[in-house]
Amino acid sequence: MNRHTTFGSPYLLGFDHLERLLERTARNAGDSYPPYNIEAFDDGSLRIILAVAGFSQKELSVTEEDRQLVVRGKQAEADGKTFLHRGIAARQFLRSFVLADGIEVTAATLENGLLKIHLARKQVQPSVRVVDIKIGDMP
């Protein structure tokens, strides 16, 4: 049975991962915590700024996982505290951003309740590779 997909053209070989990427992005589109900004600079670099008020450096993690930037936050439990009102969000979160080929995380800083993640575009030189043609069956 043939499956018709967005990337179903016979000329687009190996792009099925892009379709999975689009599906995953659509699922995460409604998540709004924590709020964030994305800034672009003239040199092609980017900066993501997440509002993480109340989180310490030890309660945050920034990782690259399978071409995704993943930011996690989990605050320690408020031991023995009684709140009359709790309006400051203290829930854990996971925020992920898909990274294009050639984009790399260069730094992350935490200052005044803002987590700033710097991204740069690697300079990639185009290349050409000649493939030898052999006679006989493929291994």
| Contact indicator for 103, 115 with CB cutoff of 8 Å | no
Q: Measuring CA to CA, how many Å separate 46 from each of 16, 61, 73, 86?
A: 27, 19, 21, 34
Task: Give pLDDT tens digits along the chain (139 positions).
Answer: 455 556 667 676 776 766 776 676 666 666 778 999 999 999 989 999 999 988 999 999 999 988 889 999 998 776 778 888 888 767 889 998 988 888 999 999 999 999 999 999 887 778 888 888 888 877 6
Total domains, the chain? 1
On whether residue 131 sits in a domain, the answer given is no
Alpha helices, H only, the chain: 16-27
Q: Which domain does 99 fall in, by range?
A: 34-79+88-121
On whether residue 109 sits in a domain, the answer given is yes
On whether residue 104 sits in a domain, the answer given is yes
On whether residue 64 sits in a domain, the answer given is yes
Report the 10 Å Cβ neighbour count for 102: 11
Cα dihedral 114, 87, 97, 56, rounded to 10, equals 40
On whether residue 9 sits in a domain, the answer given is no
On whether residue 93 sits in a domain, the answer given is yes
On whether residue 100 sits in a domain, the answer given is yes
CATH at residue 71: 2.60.40.790
On whether residue 134 sits in a domain, the answer given is no
